A = this chain, B = another copy of it.
Amino acid sequence: MATRGPRIQAPWHLPWLFFLCSVTCVLCVSPSKVPRLGVRGPYGARNHDGEVKLQSLASSHQKFRTFYYNQTLDHFNYRPESYKTFQHRYVLSFKHWRGPNTMAPIFVYLGEESSLNDDLGYIGILSDNAARFGALQVYIEHRFYGESIPFVSREEALKDANLRGYFSSAQTLADYAEVILHIKKKYSADSSPVIVFGGSYGGMLAAWFRLKYPHVALGALASSAPVLYFDNITPSNGYYTVVTKDFKESSESCYETIKQSWFEIDKVAAKADGLSILQKKFNTCKPLEAAAELKNFLDSLFSVAAQYDRPPRYPVDLVCKGIDSAPEGSDVLDRIFSGVAAYFGKKPCYNLDAFFSAETLDGWSWQTCSELVIPIGRGSNDTMFPADPFDLKEYIEECKRTFGVPPRPHWITTYYGGHHFKEVLRRFGSNIIFSNGLRDPYSSGGVLENISDGILAVYTTKGAHCMDLLPATVGDPEWVVLQRNIEIEIINGWILKYYQDLLENSI
């Protein structure tokens, strides 16, 4: 999801945006159905090398085994503190693995800005294809999320200016390299080809991992990875331009209503009892302290709807149907509320903090204030939203106020590249798929054309964020089935070529 929160006190109200592949599921699946694994709580105790049977959303029941690797705190320095290690969680499923003797592949899901618990049920592409390839399934958690937080609680770790300094993408990629090499050694699978998968921010990690560690991963599927949304490579209004397009395509009148609503909110808010009128109109659970709270909530709602605009709900149509079908005589704000109610269903009241877990909010706040500076903004008349240009200076100041250190807005392109992406990779690198769905606002910062025979773009015009990674279901539209098939055939080609190369070398 992408939304830029209200500019008020709390740290998670910094300008941020999210990438999680699983938000609609967090919202749609009732908590008791959200699969959890090896966590403290009713779903299983923390358990070294323990087994937990997971009721996956994917087609098959899986036996996942949880492990903890002694991970190096700081891979790049040799200060005494660098050598500290923490417990780093990864999860394996051997169900389909044909084992090292046949050099059967290893499929690795690279965790993103959330607990691994949130991923296991949603990442269908591994479990759906493991049988065909006889693949070992590996899921690795991102440092500073879930159970992979160094030494102390999550809250303490993120408050500690020194400790949270180790919470960076380069350290994370090095973590992944160490865990994968550890697994290959542990299971004598030196010759097994490794394919990494990731979605959204995790998709960026997957693409970058193949580029930085080609000796560890043979190939990468980077789903919905906006690797070009840094350092002004992509126009800053790219994201909201796509949100707008999605709504306009769904319904012109819906689009017009939304476009008008911001002005109406301000108009009502300007009245003496304006905030209380808005609270009643939108039936919010808590009193409103500022109109910005409501506007940011709606911004998030429309953004989330567009980003995850996929079957069976198709939330953009859902919201627009709510807006368009409000009873006659409804004013603009009544209509917008009707859209909110259509999205969330009938509720006693509506919670404006409904999107994302505190864990993701807190972690992502830090990540976007240290290195992942994604300049998303919009001009005065280029989207259905009010003007809100991206202001790097203000962004930096806000991060400094919150965390005491400024972000490094050019580091991502310095370390991973991005400028002249096509020219640079045309004759360098191989075996990366950049997959996108064009209804996903983040596709505006994605790679949408083939760069070489080895670096390919696979997109669908109707697809949304990370849709290809989700478990296959019988109701899937044909175009996503096709997208997944194309991706898997490309990956199959990499693996066959790898075996062929080995054979040629050994003759």
Listed in ascending order, the chain A residues whose CB lies under 8 Å from chain B are 72, 74-83, 161-162, 164-168, 170-171, 174, 177-178, 181, 211-216, 370-371, 404-406, 408, 410-411, 413-431, 454, 497, 501-502, 505
C-alpha spacing A413/B425, complex, angstroms: 23
Number of copies: 2
Query: Is B75 touching A411 in the complex (CB atoms < 8 A)?
Result: yes
C-alpha spacing A420/B191, complex, angstroms: 10
CB distance from A315 to the nearest CB of B (A): 35
Beyond A178-B414, A415-B174, whether A214 also contacts B78 by CB under 8 A is no
C-alpha spacing A82/B166, complex, angstroms: 10
* Chain B residues near A168 (CB-CB < 8 A): 76-78
Please, which residue of chain B has its CB at the minimum distance from the CB of A497? Answer: B427
CB distance from A463 to the nearest CB of B (A): 28
Most B CB atoms within 10 A — which of A75, A212, A215, A404?
A: A215
Beyond A215-B424, A427-B454, whether A166 also contacts B77 by CB under 8 A is yes
Query: Is A502 touching B423 in the complex (CB atoms < 8 A)?
Result: yes
C-alpha spacing A432/B429, complex, angstroms: 13
C-alpha spacing A178/B413, complex, angstroms: 11
Please, which residue of chain B has its CB at the minimum distance from the CB of A212? Answer: B212
Query: Is A214 touching B415 in the complex (CB atoms < 8 A)?
Result: no
Beyond A405-B83, A423-B501, whether A215 also contacts B418 by CB under 8 A is yes
Specify which of B75, B215, B427, B429 is in contact with A419 (CB 8 Å cutoff): B215
CB distance from A140 to the nearest CB of B (A): 15
* Chain B residues near A370 (CB-CB < 8 A): 78
Specify which of B74, B83, B415, B419 is in contact with A77 (CB 8 Å cutoff): B74
* Chain B residues near A414 (CB-CB < 8 A): 174, 177-178, 181, 216
Beyond A82-B165, A168-B77, A370-B78, whether A428 also contacts B425 by CB under 8 A is no
* Chain B residues near A425 (CB-CB < 8 A): 214
Query: Is A428 touching B431 in the complex (CB atoms < 8 A)?
Result: yes
Please, which residue of chain B has its CB at the minimum distance from the CB of A167? Answer: B78
19 contacts across the A-B interface (CB closer than 8 A) = A72-B408, A74-B76, A75-B415, A76-B170, A78-B165, A78-B408, A79-B161, A79-B165, A83-B406, A177-B415, A211-B214, A214-B429, A215-B417, A215-B418, A216-B414, A423-B501, A423-B505, A427-B454, A428-B431
